[in-house]
Amino acid sequence: MKRRNDTLLLVLTGLSAVLVLAALYLALVGAPEADLKSETGRYAQRIIYFHIATAWVGFLAFFVTFVGGVGYLRTQARKWDILALASAEIGTVFMLGVLVSGSIWAKPAWGVWWVWDERLTISLVQFLVYVGYLMLRSSVSDPTRRARFGAVYGIVAFISVPINFIAIRLWRTQHPLMFGAEGGGLSDDMMFAFFFCLATFTVWYATLMWHRIRLEQLRDDVEDLKQRVMS
Amino acid sequence: MGYLAAAYAVLWAISFGLVFSIVWRQRKLQQELQVLRQVVEDETISHE
């Protein structure tokens, strides 16, 4: 069973690598150029393929943390706590990617690296909230309390995801709206590259989750053995 | 072009950083696990 899982994980990792390379090609070369006057703007527009896919993974990861938190509070099973922790860590790293890539896009598009508009501020706060989640977990030594605190925090912190999502619809922010009532910001030709990147990053997230969950299971094995040695 | 390269470089660096961190922690735990298994095995032999 373990060997079969190892092979599956290896295949998934390889598939992720191939998909990421294909997505990179589509985002940088395959997708048509945006209808913008400045050359810098046209190049910068290609950032959004990975920027939005990264944000999608961040939101998905925080949703899984929420699910893990609910699962843990209902069952007290360690597997839910592992799921929540692994997903929060990956989501936080991806949110950092969103903030940095968004800031790099903003410079040629808006002329500034950062503006304190609703969308950007909420994204930063969301990132900090999940950094707080990881800090909280590392500061509690008792595993049961750590899992319980983490579960409650992960559930409450998830509120930031819908707020972040609707921010550009609720307020008139500087951040562009990709899909709205007035149509999207992408042409039909760009849609294929866009959704390919979204699917690729979802597979990439699943791969990272599998590796991260294995890491936590390994940590549990070490702790169990330590207990045996001590007793 | 510079902004595009910078954005993708940063995203790659962050992704690789995460992968490297997971692999590094996994190796460290595997080493620890190996040492602990050896200790348990040695204790079992000495008790016999």
Q: Which domain holds residue B10?
A: 1-48
Domain ranges of chain A: 47-176+187-222
CB nearest to A218's CB, from B1, B14, B26: B26
Task: Say yes or no: A225 contacts chain B, CB-CB below 8 A.
Answer: yes
Contact B3 A105 (CB under 8 A): yes
AA identity, residue A67: V
pLDDT digits 0-9 by tens, A12-32: 999 999 999 998 888 888 878
- Stretch (H or E) spanning A173: none
Note the pLDDT of residue B12.
87
Closest by CA position to A129, among listed A162, A95, A100:
A95
Calculate the alpha carbon distances from A113 to A100, A107, A139 in Å: 9, 5, 34
Q: Tell me which of A182 and A79 has the higher pLDDT.
A: A79
Tell me the three state secondary structure of residue A187: coil
In whole angstroms, give the CA distance from residue A158 to residue A67.
Answer: 10
ipTM: 0.85
pLDDT digits 0-9 by tens, A131-151: 999 999 999 999 999 999 999
Tell me the three state secondary structure of residue A76: coil
Strands in A44-170 per DSSP E: none
Q: Least CA distance to B4: which residue of chain A?
A: A44
In whole angstroms, give the CA distance from residue A206 to residue A20.
Answer: 13
| Residue A25 DSSP symbol | H
Residues 6+ apart with CB under 8 A from A62: A87, A88, A91, A126, A130, A157, A158, A160, A161
AA identity, residue A47: I
**Which range is least confidently modeled, A32-46, A87-101, B31-45?**
A32-46
Task: Say yes or no: A28 contacts chain B, CB-CB below 8 A.
Answer: yes
In whole angstroms, give the CA distance from residue B21 to residue B45.
Answer: 36
**Is residue A98 packed enough to be buried (19+ CB in 10 Å), middle (13-18) or exposed (0-12)?**
buried
Largest CA distance in chain B: 70
Q: pLDDT at residue A107 above 60?
A: yes
Note the pLDDT of residue A69.
97
Q: Distance from CA of residue A19 to its chain's centroid?
A: 17
Note the pLDDT of residue A230.
80
Token pair in block for residue A170: 């609720």
Domain tally, chain B = 1
Note the pLDDT of residue B32.
92
Token pair in block for residue A83: 């799921």
In degrees to the nearest 10, what's the CA dihedral of A99, A105, A106, A107?
Answer: 120
pLDDT digits 0-9 by tens, A113-124: 998 988 899 999
Task: Say yes or no: A108 contacts chain B, CB-CB below 8 A.
Answer: yes
Which candidate in B12, B22, B41 is best for mutational testing of the A interface (most A CBs within 10 A)? B22
Q: Least CA distance to A211: which residue of chain B?
A: B22
Is there a contact between A196 and A23 (Cβ–Cβ < 8 Å)?
yes
**Residues of chain B neighbouring A105 (CB-CB closer than 8 A):** 3, 7
- What's the average model confidence in pLDDT over A27-53? 79
**Residues of chain B neighbouring A54 (CB-CB closer than 8 A):** 11
Token pair in block for residue A204: 């990439």
Task: Say yes or no: A148 contacts chain B, CB-CB below 8 A.
Answer: no
- Mean pLDDT of all residues in chain B? 88
What percentage of chain A has pLDDT greater than the value 70?
91
Note the pLDDT of residue A48.
86
- In this prediction, residue A220 has a pLDDT band, given cuts at 50, 70 and 90, of very high
Q: pLDDT at residue A35 above 80?
A: no
- In this prediction, residue A184 has a pLDDT band, given cuts at 50, 70 and 90, of low
Note the pLDDT of residue A46.
85
In whole angstroms, give the CA distance from residue A125 to residue B41.
Answer: 50
Angle between helices A143-157 and A118-139 (to 10 degrees): 170
CB nearest to A226's CB, from B7, B30, B36: B36
In degrees to the nearest 10, what's the CA dihedral of B11, B12, B17, B19?
Answer: 120
Task: Say yes or no: B9 contacts chain A, CB-CB below 8 A.
Answer: no
AA identity, residue A24: L
**Which range is least confidently modeled, A3-7, A55-59, A123-127, B34-38?**
A3-7
